[in-house]
């Protein structure tokens, strides 16, 4: 492992620990660098911004959890299968306190910076709009945006306890119903 790689990994690990202990706004770039025993400019050098550091953290810690389930899906996959493939990692991740920290960071990142760089792959609305063949692309993207917002809000609450099986079932049914509802005719 090179010095650069080691510093980058220390920054990610220290940031992860600090975010698990304190809210996002309470964790400064300076605190992350101090905890990692790195130069104050290290976050900027390796990531750019604190938000970009969070994206890198989520890319490494969360994205692989969805990769296998989502790689097997196509635009022709039934909506319930797609929703299950998206929800299953959330359900698994929420059972761990550090996982809930990751989910909170993901929810905050997407809610606070809707046009910012996002974790790779599965959060792109373009990918999901094709799974709703009876809905035009603009409406499909809007439906998926609302579905992801509801899922992220449900799983990403700060200090939240894991969702109960009944809450997960209701969330699943609600998301599927919203995605598969017949298109509304134009006025």
Residue 71 and residue 115: Cα distance in Å, rounded?
A: 25
Q: What is the pLDDT of residue 125?
A: 67
Q: What is the pLDDT of residue 113?
A: 60
Render the burial of 44-74: b for 16+ CB within 10 Å, e for the rest. Answer: eebbeebbebbbbbbbebbbebbeebbeebe
Q: What is the pLDDT of residue 176?
A: 97
Residue where the block lists tokens 């492992």: 1
Residues 6+ apart with CB under 8 A from 15: 27, 32, 36, 53, 54, 57
Residue 122 · residue 86 · CB < 8 Å: yes
**What are the per-10-residue average pLDDT scores of the chain (187 residues)?**
84 95 92 95 93 90 81 85 93 91 86 62 68 87 90 82 94 96 80
Global pTM value = 0.82
Domains, the chain, ordered by start: 3-57 (1.10.10.60), 62-180 (1.10.357)
Residue 160 and residue 67: Cα distance in Å, rounded?
A: 25
């Amino acid at each position: 492992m090179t010095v650069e790689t080691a510093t980058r990994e220390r920054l990610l690990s220290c940031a992860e620990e600090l975010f698990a202990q304190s809210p996002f706004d309470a964790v400064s770039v300076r605190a992350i660098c101090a905890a990692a025993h790195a130069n104050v400019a290290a976050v900027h050098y390796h990531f750019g911004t604190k938000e970009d550091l969070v994206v890198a953290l989520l890319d490494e810690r969360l994205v692989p959890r969805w990769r296998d389930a989502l790689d097997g899906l196509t635009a022709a996959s039934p909506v319930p299968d797609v929703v299950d493939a998206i929800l299953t990692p959330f359900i698994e991740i929420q059972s761990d306190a550090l996982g809930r920290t990751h989910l909170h960071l993901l929810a905050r990142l997407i809610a606070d910076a809707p046009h910012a760089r996002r974790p790779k792959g599965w959060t792109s609305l373009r990918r999901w709009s094709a799974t709703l063949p009876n809905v035009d692309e603009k409406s499909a993207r809007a439906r998926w945006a609302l579905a992801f917002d509801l899922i992220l809000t449900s799983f990403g609450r700060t200090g939240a306890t894991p969702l109960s099986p009944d809450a997960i079932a209701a969330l699943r049914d609600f998301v599927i119903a919203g995605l598969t509802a017949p298109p509304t005719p134009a006025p």
